[in-house]
Structure 1
Amino acid sequence: MSYRVAKASQYLAITGGGITDIKLAKKSWVFPWQSCTVFDVSPVNYTFEVQAMSSEKLPFVIPAVFTIGPRVDDPHALLLYAMLMSQHDKHSNHVNELVQGVIEGETRVLVASMTMEEVFKGTKEFKKEVFDKVQLELNQFGLVIYNANVKQLVDVPGHEYFSYLGQKTQMEAANQAKIDVAEAKMKGEVGAKERNGLTIQNAAKIDAESKIISTQRLGEGTKEEIKVKTEVKVFQNEKEALVAKADAALAIQKAALSQNSRVAEVEASKAVALREAELQTKVEKMNALTRTEKLKAEFLSKASVEYETKVQEANWELYNKQKQAEAVLYEKQKQAEAMKAAADAAFYSKQKDAEGLVAMAEAQGKYLKTLLGAVNNDYSSMRDFLMINNGIYQEIAKTNALAIRDLQPKISVWNHGGAEQGMNGGGKGPMNDIAGLYKMLPPVLDTVYEQTGMQPPAWIGTLRGTEPKQSLQAQQHRG
């Protein structure tokens, strides 16, 4: 048993009895049944030259320096590092190849999706992408990237892309410098010419302004002289106008005074006449009011009497109409009661008829049921009995006889001789039947013609050995 203490940049990884998995500590007792491993957590610099190829299939070298170490602020990550990496020295080829493989793999995948221009111009973005993708892979080993530095991109031997790009930049800078020198020289010469021109222009401008000012001063003097003369003339005209205005005002005042005196005289005379007319109007109004009151008293008394008379007459007519209406209403009520009684009687009669029909139907049902039971439920026997009992067969025979009589059929009966008569005058034998058949044809054809009007074919009458039609008919009648 011993007491172990780790340095500042180290940790103790203890396993064995009493420990479930791995115990990480800076200092601890280590028992004989336990194992203790000391591992360093200080970061290490890894320098690589990653050979990559852009999306344009241009190869180049990316010099990079990564500072990588265990993640000491995360207990889980530190535990992963202790489990997977603590048995190897951090400077060993195993760790170096592991880190280099992760960095080269992720860097190549990222560069393959970018153009050379994007890699060259977006150095910061490229560095961040590489950092994030490599860190994602290193998390499973408990490692963290403390710093990552991507140096200047370098050409692969045989591919001088960056060299040519630098030469291009130098030539562009030299050409730009020449352009700047020429532009500065041009600005100097143009500036000198502009200054000389401005001097001449300003001198001419000053001369012209001097002449203009001289002319303006001369014109202003003439203008002031004319202005003074005009003001004197205006003053004279104003004074003359004031005198004329005063004369006109005096004449107007005289006319107004004369007019006022005449108007006063007319108003005085008219005021007297107006007062007389007003007094006369009041007198006439009083007379009219007196006559109105007198007529109102006479006609009002007469109208009151007529009003009372009309009211009494109207009341009498209203009373008569009310009584007549009551009589009509009473009569209508009685008629309605009579109609209701008649309807009730008709309903009672219909109800009794319906009850009689129901009773008859029930009796017939019982009769048919009894009759069907008597014939042992033989429906055909019961039907025949009912038809015989009700005379249905007699009616059918009578109807058929009337139908045949109305048809008026033509019935022909003939006989072609006895059985003893043979063909051609007599004899018995098998030919007798054939002879009878031939003798039967003419009467049949005659009957068809009489009943339908159809003639037999012409060839039937031309057969040899047949008798003329007349002899056949005579023979038919004899038979």
Structure 2
Amino acid sequence: MSYRISAPDEYLAITGAGIRTVKITKSAWVWPLQRCVRFSVQPRDYAMDLQAMTREKLNFKLPTVFTIGPDLNHRDGILNDDDGGARDDGTTTTSTPAPRPGAADRSSAPTALMKYAMLLADSGDTTNSSSNRDQQVAHVESIVKGIIEGETRVLVSSMTMEEIFTEREVFKRRIFRNIQGELDQFGLKIYNANVKELRDAPGSVYFESLSRKAHEGATNQARIDAAEAQLRGNVGEAKRRGEQDREIAKINADTAVQKTERDVERAAAEAKLSTRQVAFRRDVELARAEADRALEAKDEELRREVERRRAAAETERLRGQVVVKATIERESAQQAADAAAYETAAAARAAAEGRQRQADGEAYATRAAADAHAYAETQAAEADAVRRVKEAEGIAALAESYAKMSAAFGGPDGLIKWLMIERGTYVELAKANADAVRGMAPKISVWNTGAAPANGQQQDPTTTMRDVYQMLPPLMSTIHDQTGITLPEWQFGRVAAQTQAVGKEPKANGDA
């Protein structure tokens, strides 16, 4: 007695005492008078190059590869425990269990494996040697290839070449179904069926012709497709180019319109700017002209003042001579007056001391009055301070308003111009300028001192002095007319007499 365990890809087939047919299990106790055989359940590939004939009597080669192995999913029985007893649903035989110690081991028993085990038993050798395994594989292979070859030829003979060639999947399913039906009786299953490319049999050029035809047809069709694609490409390219040209023309037109609008807006802005610049320039020129006129009037006034002061200084100089004489007389009188004044001062000091005492009495009253006045002035100053604070707040608010107005008028220059217009400053300036020049009747004096000697003759040395004396009377008259100052009669008369005497002097060398 021994305990047998199969490999993961193997099963144990046990026959003998207590087993009516075959017991399939993964592990079991093998009792005396029982035989145990291991068999593999790995699927195997069966590659075949079949030569078949269609319904049109056309020979061809059909390369196929089938992956076939025992059907492990078909189970309809349950094995008994390790003593070899088995129990099923009626499709398999049962055996009487042999008595043995130990627990029972129950597992599933696939009927397909029993069929496969019986197929292996038909090989004649039941040992576990390697030669036995090769013999079993060869036996199964011969049976499987025979089934595949027979069913394939039967199926091919009922179909045309066109059906086999065009309906490849249908052909594959029919082969699979027919072969699987035959393999079921041996407990085998097709795990995969691969039908390779059909080939010509020796002496046949059917598939070669079909291939050449298909190749030529594909080439011609490719050329047609290429020509159609090129045609569509050329048409599409031309269409796209036309659309591109239209879009570009549209964009260019829109750009030109926008550029024209911007040019118009820029021209309008420049015209507005030029107008405002001309207006500002006109205002500046007017203000400058008015300032120039005011400056000229001021200069004229200052010039008149200078002339007036110069004439007054000359008058004072002339009067100084008289004053010196009067000063000497005054000093003499002053000495006499000083003596009298000393006496008067003594009397005044006495009177002053009396008045001082009286003033001291009045000082107290004055200080009291001064304190009251100071308090009143303090109250008035505080009231004035409050008033000035309010005025400052008003000025601040006014400054803030002026700041906003300055921002609105474009800056302080615009605000100043607006204020001058609002308050009539320009009108007042115009009136002042008009008043400055109104009533002016300047008297212009022209003195001619004679022409210079011609032909290289020398000038009379007394001519210059004579010309100066001749100029003085009109000059004094002009000073009197413009300033109202009149020279002393004795001085003016002397100058006039000298001028007349100079004019009556006989000329030298008998000149008239």
- Structure showing greater relative contact order (alpha-carbon pairs closer than 8 Å, 6 or more residues apart): 2
TM-score normalised according to structure 2 size: 0.37
Q: Which has more helix, going by share of residues?
A: 1
TM-score normalised according to structure 1 size: 0.39
